[in-house]
Amino acid sequence: MLAKRVFNFSAGPAAIPEPVLKQAAAEMLDWHGEHLSVWEMSHRGSAFTSIIRQAEDDLRELLEVPSTHRILFMQGGATAMNAVVPMNLVNRPDCCRVIDFVHTGLWSGKALLEAPKYAQVHVAATSEDTQFTYLPPQDSWQLTEQAAYVHVCPNETVHGVQFHFQPDTGNIPLVADMSSEILSRPVDFSCYDVVYAGAQKNMGPAGLVVVIVREDLIGHAMTCCPSVFDWAHVAEAGSMFNTPPTGAIYLCGLILKWLKQRGGVSRMQRESIEKSQMLYDYIDSSNLYYNPVEKVCRSRMNVPFFLRDASLEDAFLAGAKQRGLVQLKGHRIMGGMRASLYNAMPIEGVDALVRFMSDFEGKRLF
Amino acid sequence: MLAKRVFNFSAGPAAIPEPVLKQAAAEMLDWHGEHLSVWEMSHRGSAFTSIIRQAEDDLRELLEVPSTHRILFMQGGATAMNAVVPMNLVNRPDCCRVIDFVHTGLWSGKALLEAPKYAQVHVAATSEDTQFTYLPPQDSWQLTEQAAYVHVCPNETVHGVQFHFQPDTGNIPLVADMSSEILSRPVDFSCYDVVYAGAQKNMGPAGLVVVIVREDLIGHAMTCCPSVFDWAHVAEAGSMFNTPPTGAIYLCGLILKWLKQRGGVSRMQRESIEKSQMLYDYIDSSNLYYNPVEKVCRSRMNVPFFLRDASLEDAFLAGAKQRGLVQLKGHRIMGGMRASLYNAMPIEGVDALVRFMSDFEGKRLF
């Protein structure tokens, strides 16, 4: 007998599709007749090897990753990658040791803060003047000639802004932290040279980070880069230079299979447009709630919103929880509320949220 | 209905206690009435906070970790820690930038190979002359005055040698990779200053590494150390400087609870003595099998053994699998066989292995 499940709006670790959790539970003691769990298999055996290769193949198919790019499964989250990316890229002979950053919110800011350990940083553009409610237009980005790379975060999980255009950085490699939007829409790998993403939002549990990198950028790690984070070692070993996070990769693989069955990334894109539009439309029509982000760059994944009367926040969260709508509290630096609408959030969840928000507002006669 | 489970002798990722797997399966869709899975909870919420703090408390209790030492949950495995440890320790003002290594097998060798990125290395002792079949006596260790630290691997997973004495390095901090023996016997924290251990052998799934470090050694990370691996940040944030591997920590916590119910580390020590003795006694009495390690330093966790007629190896592995005894193949650099006898391996498994080995030998009239 299954307990009733809630609608989970967490920004990450985030909702996992129920069929995936059910399959993981059913296979917990015996994976495919092997009479042992995935969680206790040697990563060198044929069973786990088939799991990791299938996950890699499915991710390549879903995102249409071209053969020019390698897919690496790593550890440490996007936060570790904020150091690992420069350690792997700034030492290339064909560039200078300057990294250009487009600063559009908390997560691009974290990458910007980490990089000076390894290179000179240059803020090519920023929207800090309004606390990140808009995106600096691309023609205002001041790029450095021969920069090692340009860093962007196309979806800012905390500030709720998202690129709805394809950046063009010419010959300078473009690196993107896509943690909170990966697999929610297609990626144009003719403009992105390195994409990294913590799995715990749209493709797995915490403890796994995926790096998709143009193969010809690999092989120039700085001496100080730990071997296990040198992309050349990881690529050569098929993401098994050391013991990979086997269970997290297995769960990621189940989610990728679920995504394929559901119609893949283009279906997820349509759904995320529908879900986010429903919520933004309601917010914009309301007298109680507001979202401060310019409409052209609002995120389809993470919708921060505020109550004009902040004293009502606790009542809002308590009422939402009573209706099975959880993890709606905003990030601690922002306050307010945030609804994350990743792939695993069904439209019924967004509908229930809007109905609750409307009832909550109606009762108070705004 | 439960499938019959095998006896899993993998060196890691390794057997997980069946009650733990059952509980994880039962809680997969609903943890403690929260109506969502641990795998999809925000790490900042009260539910996950209680899970990680309880795991930390239970580990402290089980290993009797004194208040002088901090417990950190990190990512990247012991292989990442082979870089992270020097990045955190060699910059201290009260030492020179030399690390002493006691080289006793593959894993101390890996630490030795990684460290020159960050400091000068000195081999204080080695048993490489016999391919690591003995331990260099402690009075032969040539320690460097004011070394940053001495590194040891008290149980060598691949070569099957284990310290059965407490090392004494005086005022020089002692650092130990205990991945394959942690929680199998008490640790004397009056001699160990830093202990690190990948969880995937005796305390969890892959994707989690535990670091237990004397607090006064924290706070001197090199500039090139990624923030997420700076122990000062990790300690200050209660192991949540960035998103921790939540599910792996949860499974680790369940294993720690199981260990406490089973009688803790002293009970595990007694059992591991009994299990390993049974297997070594049989091997030593046999004409077919042998173990090359000196008796005084044989590992109770990992028992490598060889068939005098190597052409029988495939038949041995196939016959073992038929009896439900799996993952017995030796490490690729050693060949032969290896039986890992971690805490989750019941004595019935070792008994079944010895009976099979005896039958296999008997049929061939050695």
Q: What is the pLDDT of residues A148-206, one digit of tens each?
A: 999 999 999 999 999 999 999 999 999 999 999 999 999 999 999 999 999 999 999 99
User: For residue B327, what are the domain limits?
Assistant: 264-363
Instruction: Name beta bridge partners: B325.
Output: B7
| Chain-chain contact of B228 with A30 (C-beta, under 8 angstroms) | no
Which amino acid, residue B158? V
Per-residue b or e along A150-184, where b marks 16 or more CB atoms closer than 10 Å to that residue's CB: bbbbbbbbbbbbbbeeebebeebbbbbbbbbbbbb
Select from B223, B241, B261 the last residue of a domain: B261
Local confidence band at B157 (pLDDT 50, 70, 90 cut-offs): very high
ipTM for the predicted complex comes to 0.97
| Chain-chain contact of A207 with B12 (C-beta, under 8 angstroms) | no
CA angle A339–A340–A341, rounded 5-degree value: 115
Q: Residue B1 pLDDT > 60, yes or no?
A: no
Q: How many domains does chain B have?
A: 2
Give the torsion through C-alpha atoms of A143, A148, A154, A156, to 10 deg.
Answer: -100
Identify which of A11, A75, A205 has the shortest CB distance to residue B246.
Answer: A205
| Chain-chain contact of A251 with B327 (C-beta, under 8 angstroms) | no
Local confidence band at B75 (pLDDT 50, 70, 90 cut-offs): very high
Rounded-to-integer distance, Cα A257 and Cα A203, Å: 10
CB B71 within 8 A of CB B56: yes
Cis peptide before A13 (omega within 30 of 0): yes
In chain B, residues with a C-beta closer than 8 Å to the C-beta of A18 are 29
Output the pLDDT for position A2.
47
Q: Confirm whether A255 is domain-assigned.
A: yes
Q: Confirm whether B227 is domain-assigned.
A: yes
**Whether residue B306 is found in the same domain as residue B230:** no
**Whether residue A192 is found in the same domain as residue A76:** yes
Which amino acid, residue A279? L
Q: What is the pLDDT of residues B302-352, one digit of tens each?
A: 999 999 999 999 999 999 999 999 999 999 999 999 999 999 999 999 999
**Whether residue A337 is found in the same domain as residue A251:** no
Q: Confirm whether A2 is domain-assigned.
A: no
| Structural tokens at position A327 | 């993890």
Local confidence band at A363 (pLDDT 50, 70, 90 cut-offs): confident
In chain A, residues with a C-beta closer than 8 Å to the C-beta of B12 are 42, 243
Q: Confirm whether A4 is domain-assigned.
A: no
**Whether residue B333 is found in the same domain as residue B242:** no
Q: What is the pLDDT of residues A64-82, one digit of tens each?
A: 999 999 999 999 999 999 9
| Segment A294-307 mean pLDDT | 98
Share of chain A above pLDDT 70, in %: 99
Q: Is B107 a catalytic residue?
A: yes
**Whether residue B89 is found in the same domain as residue B188:** yes
Beta-sheet strand order (sheet of B209-214) = B69-74, B209-214, B194-198, B174-177, B149-152, B98-103, B120-126
> Rounded to a whole number, what is the distance in Å from the CA of B351 to chain A's nearest CA?
19
Q: What is the pLDDT of residues B232-276, one digit of tens each?
A: 999 999 999 999 999 999 999 999 999 999 999 999 999 999 999
Local confidence band at B364 (pLDDT 50, 70, 90 cut-offs): confident
Select from B227, B261, B295 the last residue of a domain: B261
Q: Is B94 a catalytic residue?
A: no
Which of the 8 DSSP states describes residue B33? T
Q: Confirm whether B241 is domain-assigned.
A: yes
Rounded-to-integer distance, Cα B215 and Cα A46, Å: 42
Which amino acid, residue B236? E
**Whether residue B180 is found in the same domain as residue B277:** no
Q: What is the pLDDT of residues B77-109, one digit of tens each?
A: 999 999 999 999 999 999 999 999 999 999 999
**Whether residue A90 is found in the same domain as residue A117:** yes
Q: Which residue of A has its CA nearest to B77?
A: A243
| The three-state (H, E, C) secondary structure of chain A, written as one string | CCCCCCEECCCCCCCCCHHHHHHHHHCCCCCCCCCCCHHHCCCCCHHHHHHHHHHHHHHHHHHCCCCCEEEEEECCHHHHHHHHHHHHHCCCCCCCCEEEEEECCHHHHHHHHHHHHCCEEEEEEECHHHCCCCCCCHHHCCCCCCCCEEEECCEECCCCEECCCCCCCCCCCEEEECCCCCCCCCCCCCCCCEEEEECCCCCCCCCCEEEEEEHHHCCCCCCCCCHHHCHHHHHHCCCCCCCCCHHHHHHHHHHHHHHHHCCHHHHHHHHHHHHHHHHHHHHHHCCCEECCCCHHHECCCEEEEEECCHHHHHHHHHHHHHCCEECCECCCCCCCEEEECCCCCCHHHHHHHHHHHHHHHHHCCC
**Whether residue B100 is found in the same domain as residue B222:** yes
Residue A310 CB neighbours (<10 A): 11
Helix (H) or strand (E) run with residue B273 in it = helix B264-285
Output the pLDDT for position A150.
98
CATH number at residue B327: 3.90.1150.10
Rounded-to-integer distance, Cα B352 and Cα B285, Å: 17
**Whether residue B188 is found in the same domain as residue B315:** no
Rounded-to-integer distance, Cα A84 and Cα A64, Å: 24
Q: Confirm whether B82 is domain-assigned.
A: yes
| Chain-chain contact of A76 with B226 (C-beta, under 8 angstroms) | yes
Active-site positions of A?
Answer: 107, 177, 201
> Rounded to a whole number, what is the distance in Å from the CA of A245 to chain B's nearest CA?
4
Identify which of B35, B223, B225 has the shortest CB distance to residue A324.
Answer: B35
Output the pLDDT for position B365.
62
| Chain-chain contact of B35 with A4 (C-beta, under 8 angstroms) | yes
| Chain-chain contact of B117 with A226 (C-beta, under 8 angstroms) | yes
Q: Confirm whether B14 is domain-assigned.
A: no
Q: Which residue of B has its CA nearest to A31?
A: B3
Instruction: Name beta bridge partners: B339.
Output: B303
Lowest-confidence region among A135-144, A282-291, B137-146, B357-366: B357-366
CATH number at residue A114: 3.40.640.10
Identify which of A40, A224, A226 has the shortest CB distance to residue B80.
Answer: A226
Q: Which residue has the tokens 């028992």?
A: B303
**Whether residue A227 is found in the same domain as residue A359:** no
Q: What is the pLDDT of residues A246-293, one digit of tens each?
A: 999 999 999 999 999 999 999 999 999 999 999 999 999 999 999 999
Select from B243, B261, B279 the last residue of a domain: B261
Which residues 6+ apart lie within 8 Å of A324 measured at CB? A4, A5, A6, A7, A352, B35
Instruction: Name beta bridge partners: A305.
Output: A337
| Chain-chain contact of B13 with A41 (C-beta, under 8 angstroms) | yes
Largest CA-CA distance found in chain A, in angstroms, rounded? 65
**Whether residue A32 is found in the same domain as residue A92:** yes
Identify which of A25, A42, A200 has the shortest CB distance to residue B13.
Answer: A42
In chain B, residues with a C-beta closer than 8 Å to the C-beta of A254 are none
Rounded-to-integer distance, Cα A201 and Cα A13, Å: 6
**Whether residue A272 is found in the same domain as residue A187:** no
Q: Confirm whether A3 is domain-assigned.
A: no
Output the pLDDT for position A366.
59
Q: How far is CA B8 from CA A247, A292, B159, B184, B356, in A?
A: 17, 56, 19, 17, 14
Rounded-to-integer distance, Cα A300 and Cα A279, Å: 10
